[in-house]
Structure 1
Amino acid sequence: MGAVTARRSRRRIGSLLILATALGAATALAVAFDFPPRDIAILVATAAVASAVAGGVGGLALRRLRSRPARVQTMTVALSSVLVTATGVVTAALAMFISFHDLVLLFVVLIVASGVAFGAAWQLGDDIGAGAEQVGAYARTMVGSDGHVAAERAPAVTGPGELAALAGGLADVSRRLEESQRRERALESSRRELIAWVSHDLRAPLATIRAMAEALDDGMVDDDAAVKRYHSQIRTDAERLTALVDDLFELSRINSGSLRLGREKVDLCDAVADALAGASAAADLKGVKVIERLGALPPIEVSARECCRALDNLLDNAIRHTPAGGTVAVRAGAADGAAVLHIEDQCGGIPEADLPRVFDIAFRGDEARQRDDRGGGLGLAISRGLIEAHAGSLAVANAAGGCRFTVRLPAAGRR
């Protein structure tokens, strides 16, 4: 409402400025040709009053015709202009006692000029109407019958530049809506896939825990070694469920934007060392060798918990998919004012078609990787979210015999 009021005020001020300019120009022209001051005053005042009356009538007519087609409105504007001119000329002529012959000549010129004005107004109104129809037709094709937005190039609009700008704005909105719908469909597909994976990963350990608990309650297992094995399996599955729930909680914080980096800051070298120390046990258990080649890193501080978890997930993924006897190489150094960390495994590589989806929620790739993946397919998605929360980036590419995950974190003062 405030914007509308301000626009009306600017419009009134502009109209008054135009009127004042016209009166000043008319007075200056009369003075330049040495008209008597009294005649100038009479001429200007008479023409101004008569033109104001005619202009008021034309303005009222235009206001009542606001809902009519543009052609009618432009013709009304042209007619109002002609009436204003004619009224000013006639009243000024009568006031200055111009002869009837001269008055007829003025009307001849006025009629010819009016014909040109009406033709131009008709053409302008027709252009505006055609442009409005083009914009309307384009707007109707933006949304299909299935509700999907179809981003099409804005048509070449006939008429004023405002209509062309409106078509361009609609095209931009259409592109953004289409992109939003595409992201929404991708998120919906990812959500369904996540629910399917989580349901599967919850069902298996829960079924095992329930079966073993019932066996223990019914006394079907009385051997101490078997009882101990059952207890150990129940604990293992419970820890697996806990880890899955923790991953889901962490992922929900990342996707909802409520993730807050911890207050405890550590040097990136220390975070890498802690992650390597935690991964060494799993690597030794599987028979995978971890090679460290850490160079000098630029000064950078990261949130201990979040950064270590991201690196833990990456190392766990590399070790889990590297066969026994293989090698996981960790290299770190500085490049272009950023700390760069490479984690290379020997998983055999990922199909090129699957590379863009590696960081998608619940993505596990081909069947071989699915059988070897004990998690919920959330680790890499969580790692990317945590790294990006530090203003960094995480990328993946196939390397010789495996994959290379690259973590890039900006140095202090470059975020």
Structure 2
Amino acid sequence: MTDLLLIAVYALAAGAVVGALGLLLLRRLGGRSIAVHVAVLLVVTVAAVVAGVVTVAQAMFLSAHDLQVVVLTVLAAAVVSLALGITFGRRLAAAAMWSAQARERERQLEAGRRELVAWVSHDLRTPLAGLRAMAEALEDGVVAEPAAVADYHRRIRVETDRMALLVDDLFELSRINAGALRLALAQVPLGDVVSEALAATAPLAAHRRIRLVAAESGWPIVLGSEPELGRVVTNLLVNSVRYTPPDGTVRIEAGRDDQDAWLAVTDTCGGIPEDDLPRVFDVAFRGERARSPAPAGTAGGGLGLAIVRGLVEAHGGRVGVGNTGDGCRFVVRLPAR
């Protein structure tokens, strides 16, 4: 019984020494990754076992051959333990990183939702207040002259159309975020989609004195859903027209490379600050500081580019933006035919 107690004391003493050194090492590695901590913990554990075995073996006066057998046996088990432990540590580190990224993404989405609610509340409250005031004025007979009545009717229609567009954008964005978007994929001539989008944007461009320029050739055929692609192109054109100063130019062109078809919209908005570039496609981001402000009544709800990104990614493509000499350039990449 006394021998067993001495063996236990020797083993605990050797393990305690190694454990103390391991604790100091872990403290010095406080800023390292989880995988490093797990690996160090496993090495310290194995070292403590080896130290205990060697100490006990020497106390028992084992022969050199028996001591080598014991140490080799422990080291063989240690190699297996270390391999499994390092693999587990890497997976644990990857899971922790993914969890941190997921939490950060969730935080950004929650902030975007709060910002979206604030913007939508403002954008709905303003036209509703105007509609109510104009309706009360017409109802009470405050406005009776035919020209003034016609002007009120026109303004009511404009505000109603503006609210309808905002509600439509919200519905489209909710479909994208909910995963309810279903694409009817087909071979789509991109040139036809661009022609229709240019026709839809032309009145706003004329009102803003913006020149729309389209490439004469090079339009590829892409695999996609024509209505959604039309919305992507229209949103990009409308966004550039809104933020380009009067007498500016918005150019659209397309082509294809080895892997993808691409479409680019370039404007003369004056550029976007580098800090704002990563947020351009976020929900409700308008970036008043980033580009020349649009005139009153033409600003959107900050959803157009978020819808663009959602629709492009639903097609298996990607969209990006960068600054040019006097403006910025939006580039959409889509699967070619």
Instruction: Say whether the fold is shared (TM-score over 0.5).
Output: yes
Helix, strand or coil at the partner of 1:300: strand
User: Which residue of the other structure, out of 356, 376, 383, is the alignment partner of 2:308?
Assistant: 383
Aligned partner of 2:165 in structure 1 is: 243
Aligned partner of 2:195 in structure 1 is: 273
1:207 counterpart letter in structure 2: A
The answer on whether the counterparts of 2:35 and 2:89 sit within 8 Å (CA) in structure 1 is no
2:136 counterpart letter in structure 1: E
Deviates more, 1:253-262 or 1:343-352: 253-262
The answer on whether the counterparts of 2:320 and 2:332 sit within 8 Å (CA) in structure 1 is yes
CA shift, 1:174, in A, is 1.8
Deviates more, 1:287-296 or 1:346-355: 287-296
CA shift, 1:369, in A, is 4.6
Unpaired segments of 5 or more residues in structure 1?
Answer: 1-113, 143-149
Is 1:217 the equivalent of 2:139?
yes
- Cα deviation, 1:4-26, whole Å, max 9, x if unaligned, reads xxxxxxxxxxxxxxxxxxxxxxx
Aligned partner of 1:111 in structure 2 is: none
The answer on whether the counterparts of 2:272 and 2:328 sit within 8 Å (CA) in structure 1 is yes
1:224 counterpart letter in structure 2: P
The answer on whether the counterparts of 1:294 and 1:333 sit within 8 Å (CA) in structure 2 is no
Helix, strand or coil at the partner of 2:215: strand
RMSD over aligned Cα atoms: 3.4
CA shift, 1:164, in A, is 4.2
Aligned partner of 1:58 in structure 2 is: none
The answer on whether the counterparts of 2:187 and 2:221 sit within 8 Å (CA) in structure 1 is no
The answer on whether the counterparts of 1:262 and 1:306 sit within 8 Å (CA) in structure 2 is no
Aligned partner of 2:49 in structure 1 is: none
The answer on whether the counterparts of 1:268 and 1:302 sit within 8 Å (CA) in structure 2 is no
Matches within 5 A, 1:9-408: 154-155=36-37, 156-157=40-41, 158-159=44-45, 160-161=81-82, 162-262=84-184, 266-367=188-289, 369=292, 372=295, 374-408=299-333
CA shift, 1:265, in A, is 5.5
Counterpart-to-counterpart distance in 2, 1:389 and 1:294: 28
The answer on whether the counterparts of 2:188 and 2:221 sit within 8 Å (CA) in structure 1 is no
Helix, strand or coil at the partner of 2:262: strand
Is 1:410 the equivalent of 2:335?
yes
Kindly tell me: are residues 273 and 371 of structure 1, through their superposed partners in 2, closer, same or farther at Cα, counting changes over 3 Å? closer
Counterpart-to-counterpart distance in 1, 2:224 and 2:262: 14
Counterpart-to-counterpart distance in 2, 1:241 and 1:374: 12
CA shift, 1:362, in A, is 0.7
Aligned partner of 2:54 in structure 1 is: none
2:92 counterpart letter in structure 1: L
Q: Over alpha carbons, which structure has the higher Rg?
A: 1
The answer on whether the counterparts of 1:294 and 1:332 sit within 8 Å (CA) in structure 2 is no
Aligned partner of 1:97 in structure 2 is: none
Deviates more, 1:294-303 or 1:355-364: 294-303
2:217 counterpart letter in structure 1: G
CA shift, 1:126, in A, is 5.3
Counterpart-to-counterpart distance in 2, 1:339 and 1:295: 14
CA shift, 1:267, in A, is 1.8
Percent identity between matched residues is 45
The answer on whether the counterparts of 1:392 and 1:410 sit within 8 Å (CA) in structure 2 is yes
CA shift, 1:336, in A, is 2.0
Counterpart-to-counterpart distance in 2, 1:232 and 1:264: 40
Deviates more, 1:239-248 or 1:288-297: 288-297
Counterpart-to-counterpart distance in 2, 1:195 and 1:378: 12
CA shift, 1:301, in A, is 3.3
Counterpart-to-counterpart distance in 1, 2:332 and 2:224: 13
Helix, strand or coil at the partner of 1:284: helix
Aligned partner of 2:77 in structure 1 is: none
Kindly tell me: are residues 211 and 152 of structure 1, through their superposed partners in 2, closer, same or farther at Cα, counting changes over 3 Å? farther
Helix, strand or coil at the partner of 2:276: helix
The answer on whether the counterparts of 1:154 and 1:171 sit within 8 Å (CA) in structure 2 is no
- Cα deviation, 1:212-257, whole Å, max 9, x if unaligned, reads 1111111111111111111111111111111101101111111121
TM (norm. structure 1) is 0.62
1:381 counterpart letter in structure 2: A
CA shift, 1:169, in A, is 3.3
Helix, strand or coil at the partner of 1:202: helix
Kindly tell me: are residues 322 and 214 of structure 1, through their superposed partners in 2, closer, same or farther at Cα, counting changes over 3 Å? same
CA shift, 1:152, in A, is 5.1
Helix, strand or coil at the partner of 1:301: strand
1:289 counterpart letter in structure 2: R
Kindly tell me: are residues 339 and 167 of structure 1, through their superposed partners in 2, closer, same or farther at Cα, counting changes over 3 Å? closer
Unpaired segments of 5 or more residues in structure 2?
Answer: 46-80
